[in-house]
A and B are shown apart, each in its own frame.
Chain A
Amino acid sequence: MRPTREPQRAVILRGIFLLTAGITACTGAIGEPPIASTPVAQNDVVVVDGVVTSEAGTVTPAVDPQRVTIHRLNRAEYNNTVRDLLGTRTRPADEFPADDRGYGFDNIADVLSVSPLHIEQYDRAAEALVEEALGVPTVASQRWQLEAESLMGSVGAVSGAAWLLWSNGEVGGMVTLPAPGRYRLTVSAWQSRAGTEDARMGMELDGTALRTVMVPNLAASPGEFTAEFTVTRAGPVTVSATFENDFVGGTPSADRNLWVDFLRVEGPLGATGTPPPSRAQWLTCDPVAMGEDACAEQVLTRFGRRAWRRPLAQTEVRAVWSRFRAVTRMHAGTWDDAIKLSMRAMLLSPHFIYRVEIDSDRANPAPHAVTAHELAARLSYFLWSSMPDAELDRVADDGTLLQPAVLTAQAQRMLAHANAQALVQNFAGQWLYTRRLDEHDVNAALYPRYTAQIRDAMRQETEAFFGHFLQNDVSMSEFLTADYSFVDARMAGYYGVTPPSGAGLQRTALGAQRLGFLTQGTLLTVTSHADRTSPVKRGQWVLQQLLCAPPPAPPPNVEGLPTEMMVMGSVRQRLEAHATQPLCRSCHDLMDPIGFGLENFDAVGLHRTMEGRYPIDATGMLPDGTRFEGAQQLARIVSQDPRFARCVSQQMLTYALGRGLNENDDAQLAQLDGQWRSSGLRLRTLITQIVLSDAFRLRRAELGGM
C-alpha cells in the first residue's frame, strides 16, 4: 500500500503527477497497464532531503536504500526472541499492549512506540524470564493460613470458627506467592447431610478448578482436602473453596450445607536447589573456582552476545557487572542475585528492545552496507520474526554473511527451517487478513454451519495454501487460479467437494465452483459483514491487497446519504441503486464489479445461487469494458493483471524492511519485479532477491545535527 510520505523537494515533482492524475479521482482499472507509476528517478534527478543522488538521463537509476527508524520488537517478535534466547514457553508479550499498524503490517518501525506501560511490562517480563531460566528456589517453603471466619464469602456467613456456605457460592482469599514453583492448597471443611449425596466442594486457583471433592465429613471430624498447583510467576493468586450442590429436601426434610474452616497454602514444594536445565547452559563456570568477576564476565559476555545480537565490548560487560554487583552487595545479595539482576537489566536495555543500527559516519549521506550483525538481525526478523540462531551468528561473527553467496545460502537454509512458519503467520496473516478470522463476528443464527471448528479449518487451509507456495516453489501465478486447496474432510464437506482420503489437511481438488485464493472461506468471511456479504469490501480488498491500487477514500460529505435509496432487493441491486450518482460511480465502478463476481459465496464462504428470493447475478463489467461472469473468470483476470505480481513484491518488501515505501523505492521495486518475473514468480526467489537487494543490505545516515 503506498503511503504519502513526502521528502522535501520531491513534493514539487509529485505535484505534477497530482495535477494531472488527481482531479479525475479514480484512474486505472483491472486489465489496463498501470498508470502514473513511472519511477520519479527515470525522469531527471532524484532529490531526497536536499541531496542529489543520481544524474539526469541515467538509464538504470541508483537504488536509494533510505533508512529504517530504530526498530522496536513487536509482540510476536518479542515472544519468539525470548523463546529462542531462553527456551521459555511463556509468552509474556501476549499481555503487552497491541502494536499499532501502518502500511498494513505491525512491524513498521515508525509506528511502534514505547510508553511507560511498555517499560513496566518489559521489566516485569525480564525479571520473570530470568528467574525462570536461572532460578533456584532460594525461598524457603512458607505457609499461609487463611481462617475462613475472617474471610468474606460470596454467600453465607461466619459460623463459629468457620464460614458457612448455605447455598452455592465460594469463600476465599488472596496470597502473594514469593517464587514460581509447586504449591499445595489444603481446605478444611465439613457438611450437613441431606439427600442422597454428600456436599461437593471445588478447590480453585484464580477461579480455575484444581480439584473437586465430595465432603462426607460432619462437624465432629472435619476433613482436610488437598490439591497441588504450579505457578510460573511470583505474585498474587486467589485460592477459594466453592460449594456446588446445595440441596434442601428429602424425607424428613434436611438442608445440605458446607462449612469451610480454613484454607492453607504451602510452598514452594520440593527440594530446594533443583535448578532448571537452562541454568547450566548459562552459568558455565564456577565463581568460587574461577573468581567472581572473571566468571561473571564469561557468563554475561555470552548472554550479551545472544541477547543484544552482537558481540559486546569488554567495557560494556564490565560496566554492567560492576554496577549490579555493587547494588546487590549493599543489600546482602549473592553473586547469583547480581547475575540475575544484570541479565534483567540487559533485557530491558534498548539494545535488546530495539534492533539497533549505527551509521558509523553520520555526516556522510551516501548509502553504506549495514554490518554483518545488523544484516543477520534483519534477515532473521524478516524470515523468522525472531533472533538469529547459532549458525547465523557464526557467519555474522566471521563477517562472511556480507558475501552474496553466503547470504543467499543462509536465506535458503532459514526458509527451509521450521521457524519460517513465522512468514505464514505474520506476513500472510496480515497480507491476506487471515489474522482477522478469530475476531470476526458472524451472526450465528443466520449461519449455523459456521462453527468454531470451521473457522479454525479455514485458517489452517489458508495457512497451508500459502505455505505450499512458500515451501514448494510453486509459481504465484497459480495463487488465484489453483484448482486445488488444502482441506480436511470437514472443510471439504463445507465446500461441497470430494473429501480427501486420509486424516488432516490434504491437497484436494476444488471442483467446478471454486478457484484459487479468492474463493477460500477465510477471505470471503473476513470481507463480509456479520449478517450479509459486502461486494464493496471484497472489491476494495482485492484492489488494495492484491493490486496495491486502493480506490481513494470517498470525497468529503458523501458518507451518510440522507435516505436509503432502495430498501428491497438483493445486496447487488441495492448497491447498484447508489452507484447511479456520478460522484460515487468513478470509484464504485472499480470495486463493485469484483464484489459482484464473488456474490456466489455468502458471508461465510458457502456457495449459493440464491440470496433469499433473489437469484445471484455474478456478472460484472470492468471500466475498460471487459465482461466476466463468476469467480473463476474474475480470478483469471486479476491474476493476469501486471499489477498483481508487482503488488506481491511491494507487500513483501514493506514487511521485509519494516517501513512504508515511497517514490524513492520505485527503482528497487522495478528491479525486483523484473528479476522475479523472469524467475517464474516463485516466492523463494522473491525473498532471496529482496535479501540480496540494496534496500535490504544498505542504509544511509539521516542528516541533522545534535
Chain B
Amino acid sequence: MKTSKISRRVVLGGAGVAVALPFLESLLSREARAQARPLPRRVLFYYTPCGINSSDGRGWSPAARGVGSAWALSRMLAPLGAALKPYTAVLSGLHNRPASASFGGTNDGAGDHARGTGCFLTSARLVKTDGTNIRNGISIDQAIAQRVGMMSRFPSLQVGTDAGSSAGDCDSGYSCAYARNVSWSSATTPLPKITSPRTLFDRLFAGMDPSATVAANARRRAYSTSVLDYVRGEATSLQTRMGPTDRRKLDEYLTAIREVELRIGMMEGMVCTPTPRPAATVPYPMLVDVMHDLLALSFRCDLTRVQTFMLGNAGSGRVFDFLGLTEGHHNLSHHMNNENNLTKLETIGTWEVRKFAELCNRLRMIDDGMGTNALDNTVCMFSSEIADGNSHAHTGLPLLSVGRGGGQITTDRHVDFGGQPIADYFIALAKIMGVTLPNFGAEGTRVLANLGPVSS
C-alpha cells in the first residue's frame, strides 16, 4: 500500500520514445562501429521466485520434444509467441542439486528458498548461517564479467524489483544475503541490486555529458582517480593494523575501489541518448516494465554485456492483485495439489513468461549491425529458485534459454537433458562469452552436451 506518484513520462516513455529516438540517432555510429569489430555477445539471467511446476501436464513443459515444427509452445509459454519461438530453447531435465537440503553428505534442513536463490547462479553448497560466516561461491555472471567486463562501462548490472523487507528473517536460518542476491563476485561478497528506476538511470548515465569539454572531462577524470587512489592507500595501510577478519572486510572495500577505478573515463565519447529520467519509485507491475526499458537500453548503448534481473526475492509473498489474486505467491506455491491453487500458480507463471517475452522482444528490435539483432547475439536465461513449489524440488528446473548466442545455441527446440547439472549449462554460456571454465560450482565439469555448436 505504498503511495507514489506515477509519472506520465514513465508510462509514455515506454516502447515509443525509448526505442525510436536513440535508434535513429545512433544508427550511423553503430553501423560504423559494427564494421570495425566483431558482434557483441551478451548474457542476461532472469530470476523468478517461488518456483514453477515443470512436470509434464502442468502447463509449462511442452508436450513434444524436438526441433522446429516437431514441438509447440505449451500453455504457459504461449506469450513467447511466433516471434520468439525461433529463438527459444526449452531446456528440461537440468538439476541444481547443491541447492537440495541433503547434498554432499550433510543435511541442512529447511531453507530451500534461500538455498535455491543463493545458488541460483553459483550452483555451490551454501553455508547455513544467519550472518557470521556467510559462504557461497562465485556466480556465473561474475565469472564471465570478471573476464570480459572491461569491454563496457559496467562489467555487469544487478537489477531487481524488490529490495526486501526491512525487518524479520528471510528463510529458516539463512541470512538475507542468500535470499536476495543471485550475483556473487566471490564466495563471500554478494552484489546488491538496484530496485529504483531513477537510481538505476542515474547510475547508468551519471557523468555522461555530451556538452562537456575535453578539459572538463579530463579534470573530472583526474579528480575521481585521485580520490579513489587516496582511499585505496588509506584502506591498505589500515589493513596492516587489523586481524584476519577485518582484513578480509577491507579486501572487499579494496576490490570495490579497484573496480570503480578501472572504469573511470569510460563514459566519455558515448553516443547513446538516454530516455527521459524515470520517477524514483514506480508501483508494481509498471515497475517491471520500466526496469525492462533500462535493461534493454543498457544493452543497446553497450553499457554492459552481463545482466541479472530478480523479479522478486526468495520465497516472495507478493500478492498479484492485478491478476485478480488475493493470496501471496509463496502461500499459493505450497499448493498441496489443490486445483484452485494450481490454476492460480499457472496464472502467475504465465504472466512472468509474458514479462520475460516482452524484454526479449525489446532485444530482438535492437539492430546489432551486419543483419543481426541483439537476440541473435545474446542468451537470456529464465528460471526460478525451485521447480515445484510444493515439493521444493531442485531437479528438473523450469528453464528457458532465449537467444542464439551468436549462433552457438541451437534454438527453436525442446530438449530433455535427463538430469545434467545446470552448472554445465553455465559453463556453456561462459564459453559463448569467450570465457573457458574447466569447472563451475559443485557439479559443473564440462560444456553441456547437445546444447548447440558450443557443445562441440
Q: Report which A residues bind B (CB closer than 8 A).
A: 1, 3-5, 67, 69-70, 72, 95, 97-98, 100-104, 106, 108, 110-111, 113-121, 123-124, 152, 154, 169-170, 172, 174, 176, 204, 206-208, 235-238, 240, 242, 320, 323-324, 327-328, 330-331, 333, 341, 344-345, 348-351, 353-354, 356, 358-359, 362, 429-430, 433-436, 438-439, 441-446, 452, 455, 529-531, 552-557, 559-564, 567, 660, 701-704, 706
Contact = CB atoms under 8 A, between A and B. Distances in A.
Given A116-B256, A116-B260, A559-B112, A362 B130 contact: no
B205 interface: yes
Interface in B130-171: 130-134, 158, 163-170
> Lowest 10 A-B CB distances belong to which pairs?
A102-B131, A207-B7, A702-B243, A97-B192, A553-B110, A704-B244, A207-B9, A154-B12, A560-B390, A238-B276
Contact of A564 (B129, B196, B336): B336
A427 B203 CA distance: 32
A438 B328 contact: no
B9 A348 contact: no
Contact of A117 (B2, B111, B192, B249): B192
A345 B109 contact: no
Contacts of B39: none
B325 to A, nearest CB: 10
A350 B243 contact: no
A interface secondary structure, majority: loop
B326 A69 contact: no
A152 B12 CA distance: 12
14 contacts: A67-B243, A69-B246, A70-B242, A98-B164, A114-B253, A123-B260, A237-B277, A240-B9, A358-B242, A435-B165, A529-B328, A555-B109, A556-B102, A556-B107
A564 B243 CA distance: 54
B222 to A, nearest CB: 6
Contact of A349 (B102, B163, B190, B231): B231
Nearest to B113: A559
Contact of A350 (B110, B185, B238, B321): B238
B244 A3 contact: no
Nearest to B9: A207
Nearest to A358: B241
B231 A348 contact: yes
Contacts of A554: 109-110, 172
A436 B167 contact: yes
A235 B132 contact: no
A553 B259 contact: no
Nearest to B3: A452
Given A115-B189, A170-B12, A350 B328 contact: no
B interface secondary structure, majority: loop
A198 to B, nearest CB: 21
Contact of B274 (A3, A236, A439): A236
A148 B398 CA distance: 48
Contacts of B110: 553-556, 559
Considering residues A324, A341, A434, A560, which has the most beta carbons from chain B within 10 angstroms of its beta carbon?
Answer: A560
A309 B102 CA distance: 48
B276 A345 contact: no
B365 interface: no
B10 A207 contact: yes
A438 B131 CA distance: 25
Contact of B256 (A106, A115, A207, A430): A115
Contact of A169 (B12, B130, B188, B222): B12
A653 B420 CA distance: 48
Given A69-B246, A362-B241, 10 more contacts: A72-B249, A101-B176, A115-B252, A123-B224, A154-B13, A240-B276, A442-B1, A554-B172, A555-B110, A660-B132
A703 B253 contact: no
B147 to A, nearest CB: 16
A441 B318 contact: yes
B354 to A, nearest CB: 22
Contact of A100 (B190, B195, B199, B202): B190
A529 B337 CA distance: 20
A147 to B, nearest CB: 15
B206 to A, nearest CB: 7
B187 interface: no
Contacts of B30: none
Contacts of A108: 131
Contacts of A69: 245-246, 249
B279 interface: yes
B219 A333 contact: yes
A560 B3 CA distance: 36
Contacts of B250: 70, 350
Contacts of A348: 227-228, 231
Nearest to B327: A531
Nearest to A207: B7
A358 to B, nearest CB: 5
Nearest to B246: A70
Contacts of A169: 12
Considering residues A101, A123, A206, A328, which has the most beta carbons from chain B within 10 angstroms of its beta carbon?
Answer: A101
A97 B189 CA distance: 14
B317 interface: yes
A100 B176 contact: yes
B249 A70 contact: yes
Contacts of B276: 172, 174, 206-207, 238, 240
Contacts of A436: 165-168
A236 to B, nearest CB: 6
B17 interface: yes
A3 B132 contact: yes
B274 A111 contact: no
B230 A111 contact: no
A443 B130 contact: no
B338 interface: yes
Considering residues B12, B13, B337, B392, which has the most beta carbons from chain A within 10 angstroms of its beta carbon?
Answer: B12
B319 interface: yes
A527 B290 CA distance: 32
B123 interface: no
Given A117-B194, A119-B260, A530 B327 contact: yes
Contacts of B8: 170, 204, 207, 242
A421 B65 CA distance: 62
B130 A102 contact: yes
A441 B312 CA distance: 15
A36 to B, nearest CB: 18
A108 B100 CA distance: 28
B129 A553 contact: no
Contact of A702 (B163, B224, B245): B245
A204 to B, nearest CB: 7
A110 B252 CA distance: 12
Interface in B201-225: 202-203, 205-206, 208-209, 211, 215, 218-219, 222-224
Nearest to B131: A102
A103 B255 CA distance: 27
Nearest to A700: B243
A236 B212 CA distance: 13
B78 interface: no
A441 B1 CA distance: 7
Nearest to A360: B241
Nearest to B132: A5
A238 B230 contact: no
A451 to B, nearest CB: 9
B131 A660 contact: yes
Given A436-B166, A438-B2, A706 B240 contact: yes
Contacts of A119: 253, 256-257, 259-260
Nearest to A534: B331
Contacts of A345: 226-227, 230-231
A106 B165 CA distance: 11
Given A118-B256, A562-B336, A111 B245 contact: no
B327 A660 contact: no
B168 A433 contact: yes
A356 B277 contact: no
B70 interface: no
